Structure 1
Amino acid sequence: MTIDNYRDEINRIFARYTHRGFVDYGNCSGLANDVIWLIDRAVKEFGRSREYKALFDITNKAFLKWGKTDKDDSAGQTQDFVWYVKEAWDTVYEADAEEMPHRKMFEWFVKHLDGTVIDYMEDEIYEYLIHHFMEPELLQKKLILLTEKVRECEAHKGDWHYDYQAERYQLYILNVMADMKEPIEKIRKYAKTLKRYEVRETMAQIERSYGNIDEAIAIYKDLAAEEDSEQWATHNWHMELKEIYKELGDDANYLFEVRAAMRLSNGDMALWKEYKGFFGPDEWPKECAKIFESFKLGDCRPFPWYAAENRYELIMESLEAGFSSFSFKEYEKKLKALFPERCLAVLADDTELKAENSKKRSDYRRVAANLRWIQRYPGGDEVAAKMAADFRERYKLRRAMLEELAEF
């Protein structure tokens, strides 16, 4: 296909899925799949022929058209699309070909930071721009660009939108200063003027890149302590600490941080295997028991760890203490083989609760679905029939329920 063929095909794809200027939820996945397929084909075709300018042009046309198209992308289609776009950009960037060198790519990115690209797509341009183009001349241009952006925002100080944007540009400046290898004291001084939460994470990364491991550790420990106090993690900073200590060969602190990370990421199998690797066959049973004793019955988070150690009785006990149909389905095959009567009992209890709380036809259908589920167990037909008869008597004024239970 020629570059013109690709351009025409992009237009056809968007036209196919757009109706009255909008791509609805049902069509957005089709749009994403078709455009992604086209970009992937262009990467292979133009990559082989080393036509990097053509690849860059086609990718950018799709990128801009995606941003201009109104759509319901709530199933994550934009993230998928952008991933493939960045793959194409990377192909061009890594080639750094004469017809499309870094300088020309840089110029395109800067040109489209003029507000004509919708904000969430503009964010992707900024992210790519900041983390690429490390030539001294281009780093200097990035610094000038971002400094000017901050100045423009400060002219609207007090407006939350501009204040937010200014903080974001300042965070980017911090990254650029590090890429320019500015003195660390100068970077630290600038960082102290910034308010965004992400500043500490960025500074930890910068300190680490400068070889200041103790400083990086101190920042990550502060961040980890905050998550520990909340007993909930959006990032789990212990993961960063464990990797640092692993690189340093500090096994004691490495082990400590793996265990700390596990407390915030219950059920994470990679952490479980990593932690288990510290213990010999004779030591592990005692350590494993100590971990399992820390969980309350009804907590489904450690279920993957229970299963890994063939402790299905703990899963069964927890489901009896607090039933979760999602967790039960995940381990049902094994539980049914080991504890068929107990499985039947928890399903019956769940069905009883659903019936008590049912108020509309969709609720009644869930009750009927549970009864069919019960029928798949030994003795389940009798249990389901008895429960259905009881519900018909108890809720005889609920006509819709009686209709849904007619098969039993």
Structure 2
Amino acid sequence: MFSSKILERGYDYWAEGLVSDVLSTEDGYEAIVSGSYNYEVEIIVDDDEVLEMYCDCPYAEEGRYCKHMAAVLYELTNQCMAAGSSRSASDSGKAGDIPDTEHRRQEIAASVDRVSEADLRDYVKQLLYKDKNLYEKFKIQYEFSDSREMMEIFKSQIDKIFEEQCQEYGYLDYYHASKLEKQIYRIMGDITGKLMKCGCYQEVFELSLYLYKELEYVAVDESDGVTDEILELCTEIWEELLDDCGEQSIGDMIFSGLKDIVSRSGVHYRSERAWGFMQDFFDEREYITEMLNIVEEALKKCDSRKVTWEDSYTISTCVTDILYFMEELGYSDTELTEFSRQYWNLDDVRRYWISKGQKAGAYEQTIGLIKESLEQSKGKPVLVMEYRRTLMQIYKQMGDVEKYRAELKDIILNESWASKEDYEEYKALFTSKEWEQEREAVFTAPYGEQHLYELLQEEGLYGRLLEAIKKSGSLNILRRYEKILQKEYAEEIVQIYADNIEGMADRASNRSTYKEIVQILSHMKEFRGGAEIVERIVGSWRYKYRKRRAMMEEIKDL
């Protein structure tokens, strides 16, 4: 599995303590091995047998077993022996390849004991001088008192992770983004834990802010939401600082740092996590006043230039934030209205006043605003849906049953976005006898056509449900409802399968389709009268398709 040279170098890496962050996973183990870079190793184990090994170093990318894998196997072996295991984690990777770890430890201890303290110090100094990674580990382990120097080390480690995982032009693809996330979580967990214990709160925040800013300059494949996960880690650190410290100076420091991010980057999606944190955790008047100033300045910048798509998003966000801050600071409705008039074309401004009017019970005024907004929102189905639902709620709150019923009916009969809740609410307006007549209009409406099978089932109209399924010609729909239909319509279900399967057989030209047909035939036997029909079908096929050898092989056991 390993060449003697690779094993020897792997052992050296392990003996120098370069294996870290060993984690047990669902499939085996993961670990980080430090070298010229930090490399991530994954060992896949099943029933104490090593099945596969992966490393992201260049040597292993060609399918070879590398020294980093060997180093991790040595570490796992050592951990197993320390835990009293009778079998090492690497036995299946060829036990003969791995030296007696305990013997080597004793040998190393004896060698060190024979060296004078002065010589040993000189040797350690040489090692640390030659290996920057080892020196940084040494500093963290034994000289943690100088927090500022530690900060530079920690920042360089974060930089190194980004450098290792980023491809050309600073892009992180899916694979490397996932690896970066794991490494960042590990290092930040270790670092912030040590700094918090030492009371180095400023350094903890500075480091999280450094990581936050690093993400601004990297393009990431967001298929797995990596950026959000890392930004969430940063906000968790900020919240922990506020909870654990409780000092005004710490709060001021965090607010100032986040304010710098927002002021520099602008109030948009790149800084929205920091901006959202400020709004959620800094509700004192002086902070709100500062945030109002920030967002007013951002709005002025957008208003002073040609508006892009991103500016439109920013303007809408800024305007709604300003309204919120003004309200929190006690501005009058007259002042709020005067500001809103400048941006009355924005949907979010209208939403703000509709919500405010509904809460205040200003129903007539709010209804007028909703109707005006509906005219402006033609071609925006999501907004139309929101406005109409709000209008229906207001009629209900007013006790205007006639208008409420008319609005709900129009939604059910004419809007494709009507929901099951709307349907149930509409049905509740009628007696059982009235509903039998009214539901026919619902079945032919856009909502009814989209949910016809579900509605027929709910109404207990099983005969009509069977006919609708038969008309659709879909076996998938039939399978979905056959359990509720089979007691009364078993023969009809089998016949639908039979009609469909004849067409499938006629068109089939490969073994996979024949296998699917056989599965359907086997399923048909489960219904009353199904076995006889299957026997008849298969009998006719043995003559009709006798030249299709693959088909004959598949149906021979039916």
TM-score by length of 2: 0.50
Measure the CA separation in 1 of the matches of 2:511 and 2:374.
Answer: 46
Aligned-pair CA distance for 1:92: 8.2
Q: CA RMSD in A?
A: 5.9
Q: Which structure would you say has the larger Rg?
A: 2
Alignment of 1:8-407 (within 5 A): 71-74=220-223, 97-98=246-247, 106-114=255-263, 120-127=269-276, 129=278, 133-157=282-306, 159-162=308-311, 164-194=313-343, 195-223=345-373, 233=382, 235-263=385-413, 264=415, 268-279=419-430, 283-287=431-435, 289-296=437-444, 299-323=449-473, 327-344=477-494, 346=496, 367-368=513-514, 371-372=517-518, 374-375=520-521, 376-378=523-525, 379=530, 381=534, 385=538, 407=554
Cα offset, 1:201, TM superposition: 1.8
Please list every run of 5 or more consecutive structure 2 residues that lacks an aligned counterpart in the other structure: 1-149, 189-200
Q: Which protein, 1 or 2, shows the higher relative CO under an 8 Å CA cutoff with sep ≥ 6?
A: 1
C-alpha distance in structure 1 between counterparts of 2:249 and 2:256, whole Å: 11
May I ask how many residue pairs the two structures share in their alignment? 390
Aligned in 2, Cα 1:189/1:303: closer, same or farther, shift over 3 Å?
Answer: farther
- Secondary structure at the counterpart of residue 222 of structure 2: coil
Aligned-pair distance for 1:204? 1.3
**One-letter identity of the residue aligned with 1:199:** V
Q: What is residue 46 of structure 1 aligned with on the other side?
A: none
Match of 1:182, SS state, is coil
Q: CA deviation at 1:271?
A: 3.3
Question: Is the contact made by 1:28 and 1:77 (CA closer than 8 Å) also made in structure 2?
Answer: yes
* Alpha-carbon offset, residue 145 of structure 1: 1.0
1:14-34 CA distance string (max 9 Å, x none):
99x968687665797899899
Of 143-152 and 30-39, deviating more is 30-39
Q: Distance in 2 between matches of 1:135 and 1:305?
A: 53
Residue-by-residue CA offset, 1:223-277 (whole Å, 9 max, x unaligned) = 55788x8795464433323433444454444444444554546673333444444
Check 1:240–1:190 CA distance in 2 against 1; reply closer, same or farther (3 A cut).
Answer: same
The separation in 1 between residues aligned to 2:258 and 2:456, in whole angstroms, is: 50
The 8 Å contact of residues 443 and 449 in structure 2, kept in 1 or not, is answered as yes
The whole-number CA distance in structure 2 between the counterparts of 1:18 and 1:224 is 49
The amino acid that maps onto 1:111 is D
Contact 1:348-1:374 at 8 Å conserved across structures: no
For 2:420, give the aligned amino acid: M
TM-score by length of 1: 0.64
Q: Is the 8 A contact 2:497 2:524 kept in 1?
A: no
In 1, the alpha carbon distance for the partners of 2:518 and 2:341 equals: 62
The amino acid of 1:377's aligned partner reads M
For residues 337 and 84 of structure 1, the distance between their equivalents in structure 2, rounded to whole angstroms, comes to 55
Q: CA deviation at 1:149?
A: 1.0
2-side partners of 1:381 and 1:339: how far apart?
A: 17
The 8 Å contact of residues 292 and 325 in structure 2, kept in 1 or not, is answered as yes
1:157 offset after TM fit, Å?
A: 2.0
8 A contact 2:412–2:442 mirrored in 1: no
Question: Which whole-Å deviations, capped at 9, do the CAs of 1:22-57 have from their partners, x for residues lacking one?
Answer: 766579789989999999xxxxxxxxxxxx999989
Give the SS at the match of 2:319.
helix
Aligned-pair CA distance for 1:144: 1.3
Work out the percentage of aligned pairs sharing the same amino acid: 18
Amino acid of the structure 1 residue aligned with 2:441: E
Cα separation, partners in 2 of 1:69 and 1:137, compared to 1, 3 Å: same
Give the SS at the match of 2:422: helix
Structure with greater strand share of residues: 2
- 1:343 and 1:25 map into 2 onto residues whose CA distance is 47
- Of 83-92 and 336-345, deviating more is 83-92
Query: What runs of 5+ residues in structure 1 fail to find an aligned partner?
Result: 40-51, 397-401
